[in-house]
Amino acid sequence: MSRNQQLFERAQQTIPGGVNSPVRAFRSVGGTPRFIERASGPYMWDADGTRYIDYIGSWGPMIVGHAHPEVVQALRETVDRSFSFGAPTEAEITIAEEICKLMPSMEQVRMVSSGTEATMSALRLARGFTGRDLIIKFEGCYHGHADSLLVKAGSGLLTFADTTKNAPSSAGVPADIAKHTMVLEYNNVEQLKEAFAKHRGEVAAVIVEPVAGNMNLVRASQDFLQAMRDLCTADGAMLILDEVMTGFRVALGGAQSLYGIRPDLTCLGKVIGGGLPAAAFGGRRDIMAALAPLGGVYQAGTLSGNPLAVAAGLTTLRLIQKPGFHDALAAQTRKLADGLVALAQAAGVPFSADTVGGMFGLYFRAEVPRSFAEVTQSDTAAFNRFFHAMLDAGVYLAPSAFEAGFVSAAHDDAVIAATLEAARTAFGKL
């Protein structure tokens, strides 16, 4: 038995399903999850000593590559001064200033420890500020696992839940809570207009992934986001852009800079922790003033703004501001996607791919999908075979047909070429 298998059997004794987050479990693709021992640059090594080119990057955070020497150094310098105080630090001001500089729609920011906390807190703030209950989200978007947001959600829920059922998409979410969440189709402008017309003055917030990355990758149309902005403004509803995945990943200024959309609130995570648990939400100063200790919306966290997480995040944010960083990242990601499309075509496999900055989507269907319904029409059996062929060849893709992929600055030409070589064989075997 391989060491990965041994560890998986042992893990299942004390950890539900053997994993601490569902998509790690390989349940949709089958097989044994790899237990990772270490990672460096674009590579990860598992418990059997096998090396993989990593296209998950901890689901987004590792944008400068694993164990970047400058991030390691920042952590070393921080750790000697202890790791948590439960009192404010100067580094928290610095990271807040940095975030507000990079995303000018964020006039003030509050640090939290996970994307889930960021979206959950932003929703409470939007509800507290507007005095309204109703929220609108979109099918296939994942905003963490707060009760209000586990309604037709993406990510692991899309992989595992029965998506034919209507809200909620997890057991344990009271219908009384889910009823305040309206779920509309992604990229459907007409439906959004109808919803606002029908619920005038009732919508607290619209929350959206401006580039969806939890139902594979699906871009929002410019019209869709613009309509959302206009409708929210006209109705006094808050527009929350969930940039936990896209923030600092699709562009230095996030998806909001690509689309030229100014949200009322933004949620960040993943890259801003550089691989440590940090996330944030922020936006208009008048809205943020409703938050405790200034206002009546309560929100708190023992480890919020944790010194180690802030050090890793701040160093990562500095590294990605080097001139040309995102252009180079986008070019490498594009090279990978174009290469895969060409190989699939040569092998006669129905396949398409899309990229936005350092994020990519691979689809086992002829056309790039524009909606949740289109994404679900991909050939998941073909994806699963491709996934395992790639894994056997030392390329670690997300173990689900419904997740986006991530490239880091450490994925140089040689790494992309090695990936494409593995893909040539993998497509050939389909």
Ligand X SMILES: *Cc1c(COP(=O)(O)O)cnc(C)c1O
Minimum CB distance to ligand X, residue 164 (Å):
23
Minimum CB distance to ligand X, residue 228 (Å):
16
Residue nearest to ligand X (CB): 115
Residues 6+ apart with CB under 8 A from 278: 111, 112, 113, 269, 272, 305, 306, 309, 310, 312, 313
Amino acid present at 295: G
User: Which residues are bridge partners to 36 per DSSP?
Assistant: 46
Q: Which is nearer to ligand X, 142 or 396 (CB)?
A: 142
From 52, 54, 55, 142, active-site residue = 142
Amino acid present at 36: I
Q: What are the CA-CA distances from residue 289 to residues 48, 103, 125, 298 (Å)?
A: 52, 18, 10, 11
3-state helix vs strand vs coil in the chain, percent to 5: 40, 15, 40
From 46, 55, 152, 270, active-site residue = 270
Active site residue 152: no
Q: Which is nearer to ligand X, 4 or 316 (CB)?
A: 316
Q: Which is nearer to ligand X, 128 or 277 (CB)?
A: 277
HEC-encoded secondary structure of 81-126: CCCCCCCCCHHHHHHHHHHHHHCCCCCEEEEECCHHHHHHHHHHHH
Minimum CB distance to ligand X, residue 417 (Å):
29
Locus of tokens 């990936």 = 419
Which residues of the shown chain bind ligand X in the complex (CB under 6 A)? 114-116, 119, 142-144, 209, 213-214, 242, 244-245, 269, 279
Active site residue 43: no
Distance CA 29, CA 218 (A): 21
Please list, residue by residue across 345-360, b when 16 or more beta carbons sit within 10 angstroms of its beta carbon and e when fewer do.
Answer: eebebebbbbbbbbbb
From 242, 259, 354, 396, active-site residue = 242
Minimum CB distance to ligand X, residue 244 (Å):
4
Q: Which is nearer to ligand X, 143 or 335 (CB)?
A: 143
Minimum CB distance to ligand X, residue 144 (Å):
4
Active site residue 242: yes
Q: Which is nearer to ligand X, 114 or 306 (CB)?
A: 114
352, 368 Cβ separation under 8 angstroms? yes
Q: Which residues are catalytic?
A: 142, 242, 270
